[in-house]
Amino acid sequence: MTTLLKSATIIDASSPYHQQQKDILIENGIITQIDNTITPEKDTQIIELDNLHVSSGWFDTSVSFGEPGYEERETIVNGLNVASKSGFTAVAVNPNTNPIVDNKSAVEFIINKAFNTATNVYPIGALTQKSEGIEMAELFDMQQSGAIAFGDYNKPISNDNLLKIALLYAQNFNGLIMSFPKNKSIAGEGIANEGVNATRLGLKGIPALAEEIQVARDLFLLEYTGGKLHIPTISTKKSVELIRQAKAKGLDVSCSTAVHNLVLNDEELFGFDANTKVSPPLRTQTDTKALIEGIKDGTIDIITSDHNPIDVEYKKVEFAIAKNGTIGLESAYTALNTILDTETIVKCLSENPKKRFGLVTNSVQENQKADLTLFNPEGSYTFTEKHVLSTSKNSIFLQKELKGTVYGSINNNITVLS
Task: Please list the residues that pair with 273 across neighbouring strands.
Answer: none
Q: Residue 45: which H helix or E strand, with range? A: strand 45-47
User: Do the Cβ atoms of 291 and 263 come closer than 8 Å?
Assistant: no
State whether residue 251 is helix, strand or coil.
coil
If you write DSSP's letter for every residue of 356-386 in order, what string do you get? HTTPPP--SSTTSB--EEEEEEEEEEE--GG
Pairing of strands 253-258, 53-56: unpaired
Cβ contacts of 75-80, under 8 Å, gap ≥ 24: 75/391, 76/110, 76/113, 76/114, 76/121, 77/113, 77/117, 78/390, 78/391, 79/309, 79/390, 80/114, 80/117, 80/118, 80/119, 80/121
142 φ, ψ to 5°? Answer: -65, -40
Q: Note whether 331 and 387 are within 8 A (CB).
A: yes
**Residue 285 buriedness (CB in 10 A; 0-12 / 13-18 / 19+):** exposed
64 C-beta neighbours (distance < 10 Å), count: 25
CA distances in angstroms from 402 to 9, 104, 300, 309, 334, listed in the order given: 21, 40, 23, 20, 5
Among 60, 287, 306, 371, the one annotated catalytic: 306
What is the C-alpha to C-alpha distance for residues 284 and 365, in angstroms, rounded to an integer? 42
Q: Minimal CA–CA distance to 367: which of 36, 24, 52, 89? A: 24
Q: Please name every residue paired with 240 in a beta bridge, in sequence order, or none if there are none.
A: none
Cβ neighbors of 185 (< 8 A, separation 6 or more) are none
User: Among this protein's residues, is 160 annotated catalytic?
Assistant: no
**For residues 383 and 397, is the Cβ–Cβ distance under 8 A?**
yes
Distance CA(409)–CA(69), nearest Å, equals: 29
Give the up-direction half-sphere exposure of residue 129: CA atoms within 13 A in the CB hemisphere.
4
Query: Does residue 281 have a cis peptide bond before it, meaning omega lies within 30 degrees of 0?
Result: no
Catalytic residues: 306
